[in-house]
Structure 1
């Protein structure tokens, strides 16, 4: 059998569509986040800011509160 000349009948051949050729690569289903809810992740989750300063302030504050509550209790017992 003889080879066919590809230059014959050029008008009959369909031209390739590059958009359709690569459409399966780009037409993907997208999942979008729910924008009705407020979600914000902590910038430094689990870390307490100013650990050294906060520790001393907490101990001083709790000591003062303990003294004040003890004074209130002693006043209540006296009355």
Structure 2
């Protein structure tokens, strides 16, 4: 049995551009996260940085406490 190539590609491709400068948590955004003890911590985004591997890190001023540096994936926006 001889296999033949299809006349058209099986998958269509297209160019995709990603804007790495996009920031879902700009400075001043109210956020919350679950701390390691299970409690919810609220705070305000102070800064964002990107690590060499592309991970976005957010500096949060935690209400009534100091600052925390967390990956953006661990934060949730506070709905007001």
Q: What TM-score results when the alignment is normalised by the length of structure 1?
A: 0.23
* Bigger helix share: 1
* Bigger strand share: 2
Q: What TM-score results when the alignment is normalised by the length of structure 2?
A: 0.23
